[in-house]
Amino acid sequence: MKTIIKIRTWSCPCGYHQDFEPTPELMSKHFKNSVNVCPSCKKSELIKEKDNDKKIVMTVVGEEDIDTEIVELDKKAKEEGKSKMTKSEKDAHKLKRKDDIAKAIIEAKKYEDK
């Protein structure tokens, strides 16, 4: 099952949203501007979004998508004139992707806005 996480979001009334706090350091890093002014309209300050429906969403693929990935990899291999994955290669791929997904969920949760 895909994991959907609503992350901390700062927004402007003009509709602009960003996923990092508008500190002078971060605004300077991303926009070469150290003030908390919307980089889109350049008129308003960004405020922390409280409306859950307006927060930025991060989606992590689910384990059910791994078999689809394998089918796509085999299809691509065939198009390139390469051999399909063996059963042991598929099993190794599944284990690696399950581990990747678990790590991605842990990492994504660090940005979750509770």
How far CA 104 is from CA of 29, 39, 65, 91, 100, in Å, comes to 25, 29, 14, 20, 6
Q: Where are the domains of the chain?
A: 3-109
pLDDT of residue 7: 95
What is the value of pTM for the model shown?
0.71
Mean pLDDT over each residue of the chain, to the nearest integer:
94
Tens digit of pLDDT for each residue in 77-114? Answer: 999 999 989 999 999 999 999 999 999 999 999 999 87
Tens digit of pLDDT for each residue in 23-42? Answer: 999 999 999 888 999 999 99
Please report the beta strands in the chain, taking only residues with DSSP state E, as ranges in sequence order.
Answer: 3-6, 10-11, 17-18, 47-48, 57-60
